[in-house]
């Protein structure tokens, strides 16, 4: 069941894809309301790729129904088994829950009459270990795989310090923050193909990633220093989901999709149709 390795490779690539956000610019006005955000990225291989769908149908028709459904069950069990890696890590993947970064930044920000920078310290993310595998589907005849994973909640905590120039004066401020994400859903749809001149060698035809954030709550406490700068930062934080996540997460999703697309295709070059059936 080496197709399971493809899914695990995707998970490992996602776990090691650390965000490198720099020079974040906030809009002049900050929206206070919050609504669910959804991002959708789809990549497709060139239509010129050679495929053998007819051979695929013939090949998998030779398998019985139990063998075909067993593939999806193995993939689901492999995802469930990844929970131990999330909690304890391994030689390739660090502990993901809790996930801790001592320092991030500096991040640059601008607003009307304001230019400054901020650093984030003691960044901590918890809740990933409670992920649920909603469903896994595998169509052996069409070589398609679909899965959906839901993380019921994620909590991010940390502290910040900021320095900004406002009205020709320098202001310093700092405090703690907490971000609560309610229901993060990640869906992935994969379609494979096979090269007729490669003995049925597999390649990735399509990778479709969908991320849905149901709701997010951001709070700040223990702020000190400039009340003016703290008020500005508080307003910017309340708009992060609407402004930053909407622009940055879409970029991150696009980059991640491209990296996974190429990485999975590179991984599949040593596998054929026979490897899927074990």
Query: How many domains are there within the chain?
Result: 1
Model confidence at 38, in pLDDT bands (50, 70, 90)?
low
**Of the given ranges (60-64, 161-165, 254-258), which has the lowest mean pLDDT?**
60-64
Q: Residue 111 sits in a domain of what CATH number?
A: 3.15.10
Residue 18 above 50 pLDDT?
no
Exposed / middle / buried, residue 102 (Cβ in 10 Å: 0-12, 13-18, 19+): exposed
Residue 54: inside a domain, yes or no? no
Model confidence at 70, in pLDDT bands (50, 70, 90)?
low
- What range does the domain containing 205 cover? 3-12+40-46+65-276
Residue 89 above 60 pLDDT?
yes
Residue 199: inside a domain, yes or no? yes
CB 232 within 8 A of CB 220: no
Residue 23 above 70 pLDDT?
no
Residue 26: inside a domain, yes or no? no
**Residue range 189-199: average pLDDT?**
78
pLDDT at 11: 47
pLDDT digits (tens, 9 = 90+) for 146-155: 989 999 999 9
Residue 20: inside a domain, yes or no? no
- What six digits make up the tokens of 160? 């910040």
**In whole angstroms, how far apart are CA 63 and each of 59, 70, 266, 274?**
7, 11, 27, 11
Residue 135: inside a domain, yes or no? yes
110 SS3 class: strand
Residue 29: inside a domain, yes or no? no
Model confidence at 7, in pLDDT bands (50, 70, 90)?
very low
Nearest-angstrom CA–CA distance, 277 and 33: 50
């Amino acid at each position: 069941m080496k197709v399971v390795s493809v899914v695990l490779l995707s998970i490992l690539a996602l776990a090691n894809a650390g965000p490198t956000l720099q020079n974040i610019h906030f809009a002049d006005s900050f929206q206070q309301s919050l609504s669910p955000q959804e991002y959708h990225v789809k990549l497709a291989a060139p239509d010129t790729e050679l495929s053998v769908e007819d051979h695929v149908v013939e090949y998998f028709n030779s398998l019985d129904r139990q063998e075909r459904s067993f593939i999806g069950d193995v993939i689901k069990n492999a995802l469930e088994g990844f929970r131990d890696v999330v909690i304890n890590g391994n030689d390739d993947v660090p502990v993901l829950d809790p996930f801790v970064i001592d320092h991030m930044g500096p991040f640059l920000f601008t607003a009307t009459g304001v230019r400054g920078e901020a650093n984030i310290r003691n960044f901590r993310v918890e809740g990933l270990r409670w992920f649920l595998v909603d469903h896994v589907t595998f169509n052996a005849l069409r070589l398609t795989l679909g899965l959906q994973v839901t993380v019921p909640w994620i909590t991010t905590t940390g502290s910040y310090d900021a320095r900004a120039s406002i009205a020709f004066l320098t202001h310093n401020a700092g405090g703690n923050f907490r971000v609560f994400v309610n229901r993060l859903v990640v869906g992935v749809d994969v379609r494979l193909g096979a090269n007729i001149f490669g003995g049925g060698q597999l390649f990735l035809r399509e990778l479709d990633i969908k991320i849905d954030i149901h709701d997010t709550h951001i709070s700040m406490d223990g702020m000190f220093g400039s009340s003016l700068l703290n008020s500005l930062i508080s307003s910017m934080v309340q708009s992060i989901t609407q402004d930053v996540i909407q622009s940055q997460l879409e970029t991150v999703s696009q980059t991640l999709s491209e990296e996974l697309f190429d990485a999975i295709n590179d991984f599949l070059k040593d596998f054929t149709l026979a490897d899927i059936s074990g």
